[in-house]
Each structure stands twice: as C-alpha cells, then as structure tokens.
C-alpha cells in the first residue's frame, strides 16, 4: 500500500520520498484507522492526507478553518493536477451551486469546507448523500479550548459525525501536541482507537536565538537591512506596534508590508499576495498572519515580542525555512511582554482553571527566553519528545561563546530578600526592595521585610528582575500561579544560601552593569537600615552567608 502511496507522491507531487512521519501517518490511514497526526508547521501534513484521499474511493471531505487556507490548498492541488474544490462564504451563490453540483457528480477527489458549513441543514444533507469514506480535520486543535486557537464552530463536528449514516475514517491533523489538546481532539471527534503520531518536531534547518530586547527597533532594522534580499516575517504583539514598526522600516527603504486584523480584507489580501510573490520582502504582522501560508522560502522569523506560549511560538517560528534551507528564528523579549501577555490572558473570558493553564503555559515561554540550555532541546522536550541530545550546535545557547560567571552572591541576596519578605511578593516588589526603590508601597513595608533593602542598589533594576527570572527558569525559585504570581524559594535555594552550592550563568555583555548612584538614596538607605537594626534588635543580615555579609559591609557600611 505504501508503494502505491509513494507512486502517487512521485507522480502527482513530484517529490522523491516521504518526510519523517508522513509515511507512518499515511500507512495508518490506508489501513482504515482513525489517525491523529501531530506534526509541526511545515512538516507536510497536507500531503499526509491528500495522498490517502487520492487512493480512497470517492470524495474526501477536508474541514479547514480559514478561507485563505482553503484557497491556497486547492490552488496548489489544481496545479498538481488533482481535482479539488472548496466551498465557503467567499463564493457567490451561483458558484456554490455549481460546485455543489460538481461534488454531487463526483467530480472532485477533495472538497474543502469550513466547519460553519455544517450548521446548514441542506449542506449536511448533501454530505450525507455523498457517503464520505474519509474525513480530514485540518488544524484539529481548533476543537479544543485548551488550544491556542479554539473555534466554537469546530464543536459542530462531533454531532455532524454522529449524524452520518456510516462512519468515515477520520484523520485529524494539528501542530499542537499538548496532552490536554490531544485528549480533547480524541474525545470531541470521537476518534475510534486512534493511532496517534507525534513526529518530526525537530526542524534541524532552523537556528533558534533569544535576545533580551533593549534596542529592538535598531536590532530589527540592522537585521532586515543585512538580509534585505531575503523574505522574512516579523511578528509583533499588537496592531499599533505593527503599524509603528512597519513605517519605521519603510523609511529606511526596505520593501516592507504589514498585516493585521484591523486592516480591510482587500488590503490584507493585497499584502499577503505581495509577500507571496516577493513584491515585498519583509512582512510585519500580528499573529493574524500566517496560518496556512505556504511560502516556502521565508528565511527568517523575528518575534518582536514574546508570544503567549510555546505552541504559538513554534508554530509561528516554524514558518521559516519550510523548503528545508537554513532559516533563522529570533525571539526578542522584554519584561513588558510578560506583563502584556498576562494582561491579555486575564482579559479573556475563561474558566479559572483554563486561565491558570494559560498562565502556566506563559511561564513555559518565559522559561524558554531565560533558558541557559540548548534551545532546541528546550523546545522539543516541551512538546514531549524524549531522548533529545543535550546540544544541537544550531541555537544561540549552543553557539554562544559567552563566559560562565559565578552569580552565587547575587543569588544569595535575592533569596534572602524573598525569605525576609516571607515569600509574599512578586518579582517587581522583590526587585524594588533589593534596588532600594523609594516607591511608597515599598517604604510602607514592615521593617523586617526591608532588611535587605538596597543591597543591590548598584545593579540596574532590570538586571535584578532578569536575575530573578533566571533563577526561576533554573528552578531555584518558583512563581505561584494566579493573578499575582508570588516568588517562592525552592529547596535548592537553601543550599545556595548556606553556601553549600554555587550558581552560575552565561553572561552576554558585561557581567552586571554598575549604575551611577544617587548620594541621597544611598544615605537614605543607610539610615533606613540602621533604623531597622535598632527597631528589630537584630543583626539585619541574619540569614546571609558570610561572604555576602562581607560584601554588603563594603557596599553599605553599617555604623551603629
Ligand atoms: P503543514 O501543513 O504540516 O504545515 P504543508 O503540508 O503545508 O505543512 O507542507 C509544507 C511544505 O513541505 C510544502 O511546501 C510541501 O510541498 C512540502 N512537502 C511536503 N511533503 C514533502 C515531501 N515528502 N518532500 C518534499 N517536500 C514536501
Ligand atoms: Mg497545514
């Protein structure tokens, strides 16, 4: 059977061999098994159902979520000489009628429809009379509210499948691998003892990099100019940011377009085509751009902001290098991104447990940004792949020649602060106390909670927050879930505090920048500390390791 499939692959599509995963999925479908295929963007899911569709009798029904996606797929099939069509709201009534007619006469091997169609009784009647033997659900994660792209219309699928006189073989395809989503797909589509394949998540031709964004705009300008002849996508979080960035890049003479949901349909259509046909090389867009866009020669995908989770990130980044040639995936992140994403999650109407789940996934994204380990390994393990090698030599962490520095002292200070604040505050408050901020809410804290006040006054606030995030990513600290995540100490932080263990970190630039300090602040700090010591009648750094005490004495001598 696979031999036949290979023939079809070569004859119709002109490819010589199957990609990792495709063959297994096709084999399973051809055996008549319900199949759930989880393959990343660009892995070649379409062929994995189009080939069985060509081998099965009759018309295969493909449920697909986006109008543009359907059109692209059908256009591509027609080019290969495969009779296919789609029916959706973009067509005139006459056109719909004539296509339905063609479908009824068995003119097409594949019929693409949007799930909304299933709401129409007459349309369901038509499908029932077709006796569909193979039904494909593309982007099947849309059925799950755990997914990142839930579409209520996908919920019509379950009842529709039940109403069919004979049960078709079902192929569900998605790039999303989380267990919740998988379970939802199996349950809601009532897959019958499905074979589930999670394959080919690795995209070896993609190089992954993360950067803490400081001069993001300049960075992007420099990068796009250096790659001016190569197609690339830049994702930004908001429409406004897309507008700004696009006009900024356009001023420097780059051929750059933009795409977001606030634009009119014709405008979006136009830039999309301009990009596909290389009229413009750079596309600045929100995440509204891209699902199903099969532009194989995208050479880089830059994330101007951190996406909301790894699923979304990998899907978007995966649009680079679909042709198998090298591609770069750069993620620029800043702490504001976390605030924004958190805000967006809180804005959505979701049950509390779902919200919690979204927040947990967001933390996975934050961990990726701060991970000192191989980025590819981090990604693949997130998606459940096992036995991933420790280094890929094709990511910014594996390739970097940065120095490993000892940050035990900084870690001790941070842990002490959290301990003294009795693990009741978030990253911002902890950093403010360490920095010695004069914000009212800080100065209102209890004296004992302030006993580490200002002990990192010469480190920029942002670097302190980064350090805390790093310690979270490394598992010394944990953020509680919930609306206001609180930093908690983990058991290994205690060993560091006691001086039994060391903490190290790879450093990009200079270790820790030292800020010019304000004398007044310094004085105030010293005074405050003295007051605390007197009030509490305690040595202020009770839980500090000796080394820390010594260092602190230098920074801020105590004069009782
Ligand atoms: P997905 O839906 O998984 O994101 P697509 O089905 O759009 O991915 O396929 C991505 C690209 O890979 C397409 O350009 C397709 O033509 C190409 N492709 C798929 N299978 C093969 C193969 N066996 N050999 C070579 N190219 C392939
Ligand atoms: Mg696809």
Q: Whats the size of the chain, residue-wise?
A: 560
Instruction: Return the ligand 1 atom nearest residue 19 CA.
Output: 23
Ligand 1, atom 17, lies closest to the CA of: 44
Share of the chain above pLDDT 90, in %: 53
The whole-number pLDDT of residue 177 equals 65
Interval between CA 192 and ligand 2 midpoint (Å): 23
d(CA 204, CA 241): 31
* Mean pLDDT to the nearest integer, 227-231: 92
Interval between CA 289 and ligand 2 midpoint (Å): 14
Asked if pLDDT for residue 508 goes beyond 80, the answer is no
Q: Please name which ligand lies nearest the alpha carbon of 14.
A: 1
Pocket test for ligand 1, best of 23, 47, 71 (most atoms within 8 A of CB): 47
Asked if pLDDT for residue 6 goes beyond 70, the answer is yes
Ligand 1, atom 24, lies closest to the CA of: 15
Interval between CA 55 and ligand 1 midpoint (Å): 19
d(CA 8, CA 270): 34
Interval between CA 414 and ligand 1 midpoint (Å): 48
Asked if pLDDT for residue 408 goes beyond 60, the answer is yes
The whole-number pLDDT of residue 340 equals 83
Asked if pLDDT for residue 549 goes beyond 50, the answer is no
Instruction: Return the ligand 1 atom nearest residue 9 CA.
Output: 23
The tens digit of pLDDT for each residue in 248-274 reads 999 999 999 999 999 999 999 999 999
d(CA 487, CA 416): 12
Q: Is 259 helix (H, G, I), strand (E, B) or coil?
A: strand
The residue among 250 and 215 whose pLDDT is bigger is 250
Pocket test for ligand 1, best of 15, 16, 44, 293 (most atoms within 8 A of CB): 44
Which chain residues have CB less than 5 Å from ligand 2, an ion?
45
* Mean pLDDT to the nearest integer, 177-194: 88
* Mean pLDDT to the nearest integer, 287-299: 84
Interval between CA 45 and ligand 2 midpoint (Å): 6
Using the structure block, give the residue that is written with the tokens 């996508």.
233
The residue among 410 and 339 whose pLDDT is bigger is 410
Asked if pLDDT for residue 213 goes beyond 90, the answer is no
Poorest-confidence range of 61-75, 90-104, 383-397, 432-446?
383-397
Written as six digits, the tokens of 522 are 């310094």
The one-character DSSP state at 480 is P
The tens digit of pLDDT for each residue in 33-49 reads 999 999 887 789 999 99
On whether the CB atoms of residues 202 and 177 are closer than 8 A, the answer is no
* pLDDT band with cut points at 50, 70 and 90 for residue 292: low
Instruction: Return the ligand 1 atom nearest residue 46 CA.
Output: 6
Asked if pLDDT for residue 413 goes beyond 90, the answer is yes
Interval between CA 116 and ligand 1 midpoint (Å): 27
Asked if pLDDT for residue 551 goes beyond 70, the answer is no
Asked if pLDDT for residue 350 goes beyond 80, the answer is no
CA 163 to chain centre: 36
The tens digit of pLDDT for each residue in 309-323 reads 998 899 899 999 988
The whole-number pLDDT of residue 527 equals 55
The tens digit of pLDDT for each residue in 513-542 reads 444 444 344 454 455 555 555 554 544 343
For 394, other C-beta atoms within 10 Å of its C-beta total: 17
Share of the chain above pLDDT 70, in %: 89
Interval between CA 188 and ligand 1 midpoint (Å): 27
The whole-number pLDDT of residue 534 equals 54
Residue 81, class by beta-carbon neighbours within 10 Å (0-12 exposed, 13-18 middle, 19+ buried)?
A: exposed
Q: Is 558 helix (H, G, I), strand (E, B) or coil?
A: coil
Instruction: Return the ligand 1 atom nearest residue 43 CA.
Output: 3
Asked if pLDDT for residue 75 goes beyond 60, the answer is yes
Residue list, ligand 1 pocket, CB within 6 Å: 15, 18-19, 22, 39, 41-47, 294, 296, 322
Written as six digits, the tokens of 506 are 């790879």
Report how far apart the first and last C-alpha atoms of the chain are (Å, whole number). 87
Question: 412 vs 59, 466, 480, 493, CA distance in Å?
Answer: 66, 15, 20, 8
The whole-number pLDDT of residue 533 equals 53
Ligand 1, atom 16, lies closest to the CA of: 44
Q: Please name which ligand lies nearest the alpha carbon of 18.
A: 1
For residue 174, report the phi and psi dihedrals to the nearest 5 degrees. Answer: -155, 160
Interval between CA 319 and ligand 1 midpoint (Å): 12
Asked if pLDDT for residue 555 goes beyond 60, the answer is no
Strands 327-333 and 206-212: what pairing? parallel
For 450, other C-beta atoms within 10 Å of its C-beta total: 23
* Mean pLDDT to the nearest integer, 111-118: 92
Q: Please name which ligand lies nearest the alpha carbon of 203.
A: 1
* pLDDT band with cut points at 50, 70 and 90 for residue 200: confident
Asked if pLDDT for residue 164 goes beyond 90, the answer is no
């Amino acid at each position: 059977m696979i031999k036949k499939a290979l023939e079809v692959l070569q004859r119709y599509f002109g490819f010589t061999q199957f990609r990792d995963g495709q063959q297994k999925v096709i084999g399973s479908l051809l055996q008549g098994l319900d199949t759930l295929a989880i393959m990343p963007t660009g892995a070649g899911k379409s062929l994995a159902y189009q080939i069985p569709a060509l081998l099965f009798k009759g018309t295969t029904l493909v449920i697909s979520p986006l109008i543009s996606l359907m059109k692209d797929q059908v256009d591509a099939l027609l080019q290969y000489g495969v009779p296919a069509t789609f029916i959706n709201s973009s067509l005139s009534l006459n056109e719909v009628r004539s296509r339905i007619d063609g479908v009824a006469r068995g003119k097409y091997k594949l019929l693409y429809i949007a799930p909304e169609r299933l709401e129409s009784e007459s349309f369901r009647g038509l499908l029932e009379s077709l006796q569909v033997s193979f039904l494909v659900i593309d982007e099947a994660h849309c059925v799950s509210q755990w997914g990142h792209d839930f579409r209520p219309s996908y919920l019509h699928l379950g009842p529709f499948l039940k109403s069919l006189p004979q049960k078709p073989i079902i192929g569900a395809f998605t790039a999303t691998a989380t267990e919740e989503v998988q379970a939802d797909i199996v349950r809601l589509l009532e897959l019958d003892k499905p074979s589930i394949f999670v394959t080919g998540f690795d995209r070896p031709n993609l190089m992954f990099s993360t950067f803490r964004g400081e001069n993001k705009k300049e960075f992007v300008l420099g990068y796009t100019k250096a790659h001016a002849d190569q197609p690339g996508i830049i994702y930004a979080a908001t429409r406004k940011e897309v507008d700004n960035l696009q006009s900024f890049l356009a001023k420097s003479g780059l051929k750059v377009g933009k795409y977001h949901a606030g634009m009119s349909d014709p405008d979006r259509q136009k830039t999309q085509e301009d990009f596909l046909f290389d009229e413009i090389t750079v596309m600045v867009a929100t995440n509204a751009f891209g699902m199903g866009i099969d532009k194989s020669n995208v050479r880089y995908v830059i994330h101007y902001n951190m996406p909301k989770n790894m699923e979304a990130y990998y899907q978007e980044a995966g649009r680079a290098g679909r042709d198998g040639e090298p591609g770069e995936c750069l993620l620029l992140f800043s702490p504001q991104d976390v605030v924004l994403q958190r805000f967006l999650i809180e804005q959505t109407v979701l049950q509390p447990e779902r919200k919690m789940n979204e927040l947990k996934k967001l933390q996975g994204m934050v961990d990726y940004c701060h991970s000192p380990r191989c980025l590819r390994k981090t990604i693949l393990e997130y998606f459940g792949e096992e036995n991933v090698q420790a280094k890929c030599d094709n990511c910014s962490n594996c390739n970097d020649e940065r120095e490993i520095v000892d940050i035990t002292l900084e870690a001790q200070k941070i842990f002490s602060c959290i301990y003294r604040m009795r693990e009741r505050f978030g990253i911002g408050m902890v950093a403010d106390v360490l920095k010695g901020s004069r914000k009212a809410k800080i100065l209102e804290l209890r004296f004992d909670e302030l006993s580490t006040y200002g002990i990192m006054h010469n480190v920029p606030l942002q670097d302190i927050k980064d350090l805390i995030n790093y310690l979270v990513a490394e598992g010394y600290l944990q953020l509680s879930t919930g609306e206001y995540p609180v930093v908690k100490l983990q058991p290994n932080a205690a060993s560091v505090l006691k001086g039994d263990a060391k903490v190290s970190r790879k450093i990009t630039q200079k270790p820790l920048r030292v800020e010019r300090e304000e004398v007044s602040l310094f004085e105030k700090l010293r005074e405050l500390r003295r007051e605390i010591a007197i009030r509490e009648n305690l040595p202020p750094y009770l839980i500090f390791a000796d080394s820390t005490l010594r260092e602190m004495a230098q920074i801020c001598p105590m004069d009782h």
